[in-house]
Chain A
């Protein structure tokens, strides 16, 4: 078909027909086309109608009852809250207003400064005038005003003074958690304690951070330790409470403390966390570790006898006993009388390598792991000679953090499983590492109880709660010399000893004896009563029921034979 003919076909025209026929044909074509177009429109309208019927009648036609808004805003503070194990708020952000000046707008810097000084008298006049005449668009005048101050500044009506809404870290309990929580700087950056360790997490703010600490326990600990520190005129003190089955720290404090709202005003000594950062020779507390090693390696049993009648001379050193018995002692008696000579002889029996291996296992030789930036590393002797082995057996020559002692003693008492210390609330007991057998742990419980019933820890006894522990008094090392009257007096105790659940430690730094203690400042006189008082207060909070000492199952769990006829010659 040629193009010419196609164009005629398209128009519905047929030039080969007569004019009459052409006209009729054209009308016919037009009708057909109108009909087809109409039919197409009809289909379209039917389609739309069907759609309408479907949307309004057949489907659920009405609007949803509840609008689902996606723009629901939640209050989100700059830093997340920190709560204690019971959900009590212990650190939060509160909105405040800070005063700044747009110095370009300020007409009369001196006059404005004088006006401001009537409201904020603590500002420095010269600095203020310099700032106000600096022609900068933004100069801070004063951060975190109180609402009254803000109102007063507003009433001055000085143009160019504006407020910036800010958030400020607030600790509702003030000093109570100072060392654990740490503090933030003026721009709300965490720079110590939990605030620093969890700085990123707190900024992301996915709900509050829950610690394992308990406000009530922390307060009881703080109050009793503080009163002991005052009574015995100590320069510092630290206290800790730990759940021995989870490694959770329920209370941790260090004195002197500081106000976390004004950390800059406190001396560096007050900001020092003695519980985790300070390393100290813990004294006789180590005899428990020493005895545990000996019992675990099988070099002794509880009735093995050692000669503690003569001081041991090693080169220029002499190891003697504080108020010694000067006779042969059984292992149980060595703990009871806290004999240095006996402990040294026990240590010599298992040897330096075993001591080092086990202390490493107990976590004594490594930097402790806890979620705080302020953690001290133990001072380990190098080289580790035989004389070190002997002195370490009674806690001299190896300085450790109180935290490590608490963790270690927890493991000795809980059946022999060492768990990392934590300040975050745990669900159940985390995985631990077995360091001593269950049998050894059972013997250690009896020995610890013996110290409180018959030994140096009698002052800690609280009827019904069955404390067991060990005293430790060490002379402080100042410039490489031991100073006689500067002591660290430590008492660490677990309770209730027939089924230990918690460990409490109290250390006093340089306590002085009083008339009531007959001038003694040793741990049994100053720290042990403090631990007893802490336990009296916290045991009901922890849900521990006082038991009767005459109950047969308790007597059976805690009885111990001091000595038997057998004697063992010390291999010295």
Chain B
């Protein structure tokens, strides 16, 4: 009985000792790995940081413009190229008819929308005149200092 108890005690001591050793070893190993991962993260963060700077550099509008000019057939959007959804003819309009000059019913044709730069003909003519100043008009300047 005592003998058996002794053996069991001895066995338990060995098992617990080995277990403790294994755990402490494992903790050490994990800690090493943890700090390795930490410095890896730091390295990655630094790479991300450098890549962010590069991303910004590559997004330089001047560069994008020159790339767009080389590879795309796109130009600056003119104001009259922009329209809103309200400018589109409605579905109901398509079923309407109007009478043409011969009195026959023809399908409704949506008219083009008014352009932002549309001026009445006389206004347009006037707008063109101002571009050429008469040379006689350089008579006097804003200020005549004789100091």
Contacts and interface: CB of A to CB of B under 8 A. Distances in A.
Interface in A297-346: 316-324, 340
A412 to B, nearest CB: 22
A481 B119 contact: no
A71 B34 CA distance: 10
A426 to B, nearest CB: 23
B24 interface: no
Interface stretch (B3-11, B13-21, B77-85, B99-107): B77-85
Contacts of B137: 323
20 contacts: A74-B45, A75-B42, A75-B46, A89-B56, A172-B56, A220-B61, A283-B142, A318-B144, A458-B130, A458-B131, A463-B117, A475-B142, A480-B147, A518-B132, A518-B133, A536-B79, A540-B82, A546-B80, A548-B114, A548-B115
A464 B77 CA distance: 13
A266 interface: no
Interface of A: 69, 71-75, 77, 88-90, 92, 94-95, 170, 172-174, 176, 215-216, 219-220, 223, 283-284, 316-324, 340, 391, 394, 396, 458-459, 462-465, 473-475, 480-482, 484, 518, 520, 536-537, 539-540, 545-550
B60 interface: yes
A318 B140 CA distance: 11
Contact of A92 (B53, B84, B116, B147): B53
A441 B47 CA distance: 53
A143 to B, nearest CB: 19
A172 B79 contact: no
Contact of A172 (B46, B60, B118, B133): B60
B141 A475 contact: yes
Given A219-B62, A465-B79, A484-B141, A89 B55 contact: yes
B67 interface: no
Interface of B: 34, 38, 41-42, 45-46, 49-50, 52-57, 59-62, 76-80, 82, 84, 114-119, 127, 130-133, 135, 137-147
Closest 10 CB pairs of A and B: A463-B117, A464-B116, A464-B79, A546-B79, A219-B61, A75-B45, A89-B56, A172-B57, A172-B56, A463-B116
A518 B136 CA distance: 12
A92 B46 CA distance: 12
A494 B31 CA distance: 63
A173 B77 contact: no
A549 B62 CA distance: 33
A220 B77 CA distance: 13
Contacts of B34: 69
B145 A481 contact: yes
A94 B49 CA distance: 8
With most chain A CB atoms within 10 A of its CB, the pick from B45, B53, B114, B118 is: B53
Contacts of A518: 132-133, 135
Contacts of A391: 143
A317 B145 CA distance: 6
A71 B139 CA distance: 79
Given A89-B53, A94-B50, A215-B61, A323 B139 contact: yes
Contact of A340 (B61, B116, B117, B142): B142
A447 to B, nearest CB: 18
B59 A548 contact: no
B114 A550 contact: yes
A173 B46 contact: no
Contact of B118 (A72, A219, A458, A550): A550
Most central of A77, A174, A323 by chain B CB within 10 Å = A323
Given A316-B147, A396-B142, A462-B79, 5 more contacts: A94-B53, A173-B56, A320-B142, A540-B77, A540-B82
Given A545-B82, A549-B116, A319 B42 contact: no
